[in-house]
């Protein structure tokens, strides 16, 4: 396969995966979609793939096992938060020569594969405004204090949920070098987002031909579901600040459930395929004031906890 889309999923995120694939197929009937298993719990979702065209499982399961074993061997079992998220790095060693990686808490509003046209000029492309928040949730302050990257380089930080690249831009050994650097200097890395921090370090250090689509001449709309200003236009969203349609919406850090931002949009795409049962996601239970106060206290304590 020359080009296509990778996702990372298992049965736990089956509804999100269905919504994402439904949205992709609504605008694009034939681009290959390859699922990298998050773990071995993916039999239910694998059976559902029969309802979609050109959706397959990453075939080289031995490579996945090798990758996971290497990560554990280099980093140990406790350093990284949710190390299986790092399986998305296998995109560079899978069947697709050019590819788009998409997290499952996204739905798209366009033939999203067309963004691969940027690969004519660049080796890595992202599409978000993560950099406007500085290095928060990407690196720890120690990476600035020790001048590991320049201030200009750190302006290229990005969200790890949507990105584009191609085979051959670095070797597997380069990836292991990044993990070894993480072990030597854990104070640089924001390990609560281990996939995001490792991926950013890898790209900023080794890939000079990189580009963020929001920096195109005519700008580009945001795509985070935590942004409240998007307006619904049919079954898509528009950014009124730029008068542009969103290409996708990303519920990063937001639980997708009734009452969440843009729930109706997500629900529409989740239930778009009549061959599949509708989603049955319960509305959240309203917490008591006491429970809300306790949750706020826990969050404050987490923020005070020193990061290592």
Specify the pLDDT at position 303.
52
- Would you say residue 300 has pLDDT above 70? no
pLDDT over 70, % of the chain:
95
Check residue 128 and report its DSSP letter. -
Q: What is the mean pLDDT of the chain?
A: 94
CA 223 to chain centre: 12
* Average pLDDT estimate for 203-218: 97
Burial class (CB in 10 A: 0-12, 13-18, 19+), 87: buried
Dihedral through CA 58, CA 138, CA 179, CA 39, nearest 10? -30
pLDDT digits (tens, 9 = 90+) for 220-244: 999 999 999 999 999 999 999 999 9
Tokens of 172: 């597997």
Q: How far apart are CA 293 and CA 106, in angstroms?
A: 31
For CA atoms 94, 9, 140, 73, give the dihedral sign: negative
Distance CA 229, CA 247 (A): 15
Per-residue confidence (pLDDT) for residue 288, from 0 to 100: 74
| pLDDT greater than 80 at residue 292 | no
Calpha distance 308→300 (Å, rounded): 18
Instruction: Between 149 and 275, name the one with better pLDDT.
Output: 149
Residue 56's CB is within 10 A of a number of other CB atoms, namely: 15
pLDDT at 79 over 90: yes
**Whole-Å CA distances, 231 to 31, 234, 240:** 28, 10, 7
Average pLDDT value for residue range 63-80? 95
Buried b (16+ CB within 10 A) or exposed e, 179-192: bebbeeebebbbbe
Mean pLDDT of 42-63: 95
Domain segments of the chain as ranges: 3-304
Average pLDDT in the 138-149 region?
A: 97
The gap from C-alpha 213 to its chain's centroid, in whole angstroms, comes to: 16
Question: Using an 8 Å Cβ cutoff, are 87 and 8 in contact?
Answer: yes
In a 3-state reduction of DSSP, which class is residue 224? strand
Rg (CA), the chain: 19
Cβ-contact 282, 257 below 8 angstroms:
yes
Q: What is the pLDDT of residues 93-130, one digit of tens each?
A: 999 999 999 999 999 999 999 999 999 999 999 999 99
> Which has the closest alpha carbon to 278: 9, 46, 10, 15?
15
List the CATH code of the domain at 3-304. 3.90.550.10
Whether residue 286 is predicted with pLDDT greater than 80 in this model: the reply is no
């Amino acid at each position: 396969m020359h080009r296509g889309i990778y996702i990372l999923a298992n049965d736990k995120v089956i509804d999100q995966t269905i919504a994402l694939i439904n949205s992709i197929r609504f605008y694009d009937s034939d681009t290959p979609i390859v699922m990298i298993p998050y773990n071995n719990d993916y039999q239910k979702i694998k059976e559902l793939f029969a309802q979609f065209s050109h959706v397959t499982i990453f075939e080289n399961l031995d490579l996945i096992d090798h990758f996971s074993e290497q990560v554990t061997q280099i980093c140990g079992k406790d350093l990284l938060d949710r190390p299986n998220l790092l399986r998305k790095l296998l995109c560079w060693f899978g069947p697709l020569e050019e590819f788009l990686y998409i997290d499952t808490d996204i739905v798209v509003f366009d033939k999203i594969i067309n963004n691969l046209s940027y690969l004519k000029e660049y080796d890595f492309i992202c599409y978000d405004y993560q950099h406007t928040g500085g290095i928060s949730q990407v690196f720890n302050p120690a990476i600035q204090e020790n001048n590991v990257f320049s201030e200009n380089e750190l302006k290229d930080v990005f969200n790890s949920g949507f990105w584009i690249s191609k085979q051959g831009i670095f070797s597997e050994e380069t990836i292991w070098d990044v993990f070894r650097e993480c072990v030597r200097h854990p104070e640089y890395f924001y390990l609560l987002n281990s996939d995001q921090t490792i991926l950013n370090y890898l790209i900023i250090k080794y890939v000079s031909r990189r580009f963020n689509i929001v920096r195109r001449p005519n700008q580009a709309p945001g795509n985070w579901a935590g942004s409240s200003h998007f307006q619904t236009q049919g079954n898509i969203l528009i950014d009124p600040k730029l008068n542009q349609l969103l290409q996708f919406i990303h519920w990063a850090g937001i639980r997708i459930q009734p009452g969440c931002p843009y729930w109706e949009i997500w629900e529409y795409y989740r239930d778009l395929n009549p061959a599949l049962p509708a989603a049955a996601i319960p509305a959240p239970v309203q917490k008591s004031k006491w429970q809300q106060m306790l949750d706020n206290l826990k969050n404050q304590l987490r923020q005070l906890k020193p990061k290592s």
